[in-house]
A and B are shown apart, each in its own frame.
Chain A
Amino acid sequence: MAQPTANATGESTLVGTFRRGLLEENPAFRQMLGLCPMLAVTTAVTNGVGMGMATTFVLVCSGVVVSLLRRVIPRTVRIPAFITIIASFVTLVMMLVKAYMPALDEALGIYLPLIVVNCIVLGRAEMFASKHGPLEAALDGAGMGLGFTFALIAMSSVREILGAGTFLGVRVLPPFVEPMIIMVMPAGGFAVLGFLIAGSVWIEEHPRHRHKVLRKASKPSPSLCAACPINCGVGDPSNEACVKDEFVEMLEAAVEAARKKDEAAQNADEERDA
């Protein structure tokens, strides 16, 4: 399982930190994170670039802030704290986009505020930024963000060219080629992503196409929600990156104790009745 830990590829240089997210640990194609915006906003290349840039901005800023506050935030409440930091930057992005790029705001719609719940952002905050310095966190955020942007561009290029016959709004297909509307419909989103992932697996597995960067990386691991720190113990209990929230554990223990007490009281009642 390709857990995006600090030195997963053995590279500890700053360049390595930045480069990792681009290909080897590409959040969309390799870790299968952030699939909702990946499928939803990729009907046109401009939307893909806009979404990618917005996510990159949130990743870099929240990474730096989480990293700066990593010794201040108590471990037990770190997830709510991270979510608040991320949500603040998402709100900032929403305001900026609404003010300066109203057309993009219209196109992205509710997917812009939903960057808050994008697994990539919270995942990087928990797994990287909270354990490293601000510079490294910023580079990691930029790498992951650009890797995500790259995936969005790849996906939206295919969908826009085939579905509308245009690229960045400029007609590229000859007029006699009828655009395939299905590609910009929801069904096309699932299909294109499926083919792109299959293509990346094929390139990696094929002996003739073996690429030295790709070979270093493991197969794409569909960790999905399990990779989210919040979902620890649900998706994959063996996930080492998972450390269950101590606060939640404490509460759970208290609830469990109360339930046992109830049961004991009930049993005692029943015995007395008998």
Chain B
Amino acid sequence: MAQYASILFSMILVNNFVLVKFLGICPFLGVSKKFDSAVGMGCAVTLVMVLAIAVTWPIQRLLAAWGLEYLQTIAFILVIATLVQLLDMAIKRYLPPLHASLGVFLPLITTNCSVLGVAILTVDEGYSYPQALVAGLGAGLGFLLAMVLFSGVRRRVEEAAPPEAFEGMPITLISAAIVAMSFMGFSGVIDHLFGA
């Protein structure tokens, strides 16, 4: 149990996908202007990450069994793209209210590097199936946390008046640097807590 908790929290805090691993920067900067859309995007990414791992992990096993590991990248990206498309259609068909809140974010995720990143990362780490799923959940929740925190920071930044050259993207990146700095405080915490 401690092992799963360790994976979960280290993915959320120590190895935060956005602020430490720099994966999924585009949605992090593009969709974090409003709190609601930040939550929607975060939830959609979490859902897709867990589902993507649920599908790609067995595929990796199949590829390894046939000695085709070099096809990993091609197989993963096509499977993830198909998965997102199917998920989008399924939600639209059966859960229209959910589609109204999450649907707009799903197409954005297809080529999101964080989803492909988490799939490759769990293979590289040699996680078992349950471990990989927990890692996916942790990565998604970490993304959600970073999005929510940053949407709050951003609302304040929007109201500030930085020097002209810093308006827009530069000041956003510099405030992201300060948020990332706060996450540096977590390194070591997880190892200490779970003795991993």
Taking Cβ atoms with an 8 Å cutoff, the residues of A that contact B are: 32, 35-36, 39-40, 80, 83-84, 87-88, 90-91, 94-95, 109-110, 113-114, 116-119, 122, 182, 185-191, 193-195, 197-199, 201-202, 205, 220, 222, 224-226, 228, 230-231, 233-235, 248, 251-252, 255-256, 258-259
Contacts and interface: CB of A to CB of B under 8 A. Distances in A.
A3 to B, nearest CB: 17
A113 B173 contact: no
A251 B27 contact: no
Interface in B37-84: 70-74, 77-78, 81
A36 B121 contact: no
Contact of A191 (B93, B168, B174): B174
B30 interface: yes
B120 A186 contact: no
Given A88-B74, A235-B30, A187 B180 contact: yes
A110 B20 CA distance: 14
Contact of B181 (A187, A198, A230): A187
B111 to A, nearest CB: 5
B180 A186 contact: yes
B176 A190 contact: yes
B169 A32 contact: yes
Nearest to B89: A255
B107 A234 contact: yes
Contacts of B111: 83, 117, 119, 122, 228, 230-231
Given A116-B77, A259-B93, A36 B29 contact: no
B126 to A, nearest CB: 14
B96 interface: yes
A114 B117 contact: yes
A188 B178 CA distance: 9
A91 B72 CA distance: 9
- State the main secondary structure of chain B at its contact with A: helix
A224 B29 CA distance: 8
A195 B174 contact: yes
* Closest 4 pairs (CB-CB, A-B): A194-B173, A190-B177, A198-B170, A191-B177
B70 A40 contact: no
B74 A186 contact: no
B84 to A, nearest CB: 10
B29 A222 contact: yes
B20 A186 contact: yes
A80 B12 CA distance: 32
Which of B22, B24, B92, B104 gathers most chain A CB within 10 Å? B22
A226 B183 CA distance: 28
Contacts of A191: 173-174, 177
Contacts of A109: 124
B85 interface: yes
A118 B176 CA distance: 21
Given A88-B74, A95-B70, A222-B168, 20 more contacts: A36-B113, A90-B73, A109-B124, A114-B23, A116-B73, A117-B112, A117-B116, A185-B180, A186-B21, A186-B180, A189-B22, A189-B180, A191-B177, A197-B169, A197-B173, A199-B165, A205-B164, A234-B108, A235-B30, A255-B89
Nearest to B106: A234
